[in-house]
């Protein structure tokens, strides 16, 4: 099973970037790909890993790079930099959830994380223009990448 998980909070501006990518892919996902929208605690992601051979995660990030920059990290081989995924409003962020899954032996064999650099994280549901453009570009890239698996 292949799974793509869009992570975020649709009510905090660019924090909804991962959700937007999941919505775009749900319209055109290749057969056999499970699209999941995740707006809960990051630690609950561990449950979404169960049964998956490969997981792609998409979330908003804040590193100081220009808005709309897309970061790609193979978390199956490398630790996820906690400072890159620091926009979480939860106690345990995405990096912590992935490392907990790794420690528990519940991390799928392949985990690819895409972080879209956000610009605005205040209350509101619209994505900034740069982030919206990045979600469309990343959705197209992921559609091809997932189909190749």
Which pLDDT tens digit goes with each residue over 109-143? 999 999 999 999 999 879 999 999 999 999 999 99
d(Cα 22, Cα 39) in Å, to the nearest integer? 12
Give the CATH number for residue 105.
3.40.50.1450
- Structural domains of the chain, count: 1
Strand, helix or coil for residue 53 = coil
Domain region containing 139? 2-148
pLDDT lower than 50: segments of the chain: 89-90
Q: Which helix H or strand E contains 113, and what residues bound it? A: strand 110-117
**d(C-alpha 117, C-alpha 108), whole Å:** 25
Predicted TM-score (pTM) of this structure: 0.91
- Tell me if 33 sits within 8 A of 146, measured CB to CB: yes
């Amino acid at each position: 099973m292949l799974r793509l998980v869009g992570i975020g909070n649709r009510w905090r501006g660019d924090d909804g970037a991962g959700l937007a990518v999941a919505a775009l892919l749900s319209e055109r996902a290749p057969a056999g790909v499970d699209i999941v929208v995740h707006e809960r605690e990051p630690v609950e992601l561990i449950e979404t890993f169960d049964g998956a051979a490969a997981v792609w995660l998409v979330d908003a990030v804040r590193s100081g790079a220009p808005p709309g920059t897309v970061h790609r990290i193979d978390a199956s081989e490398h630790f996820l930099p906690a400072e890159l995924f620091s926009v979480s409003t939860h106690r345990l962020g995405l990096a912590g959830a992935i490392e907990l899954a790794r420690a528990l032996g519940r991390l799928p064999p392949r985990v690819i994380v895409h972080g879209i650099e956000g610009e605005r994280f205040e209350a509101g549901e619209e994505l900034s223009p740069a982030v919206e453009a990045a979600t469309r570009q990343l959705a197209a890239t992921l559609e091809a990448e997932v189909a190749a698996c």
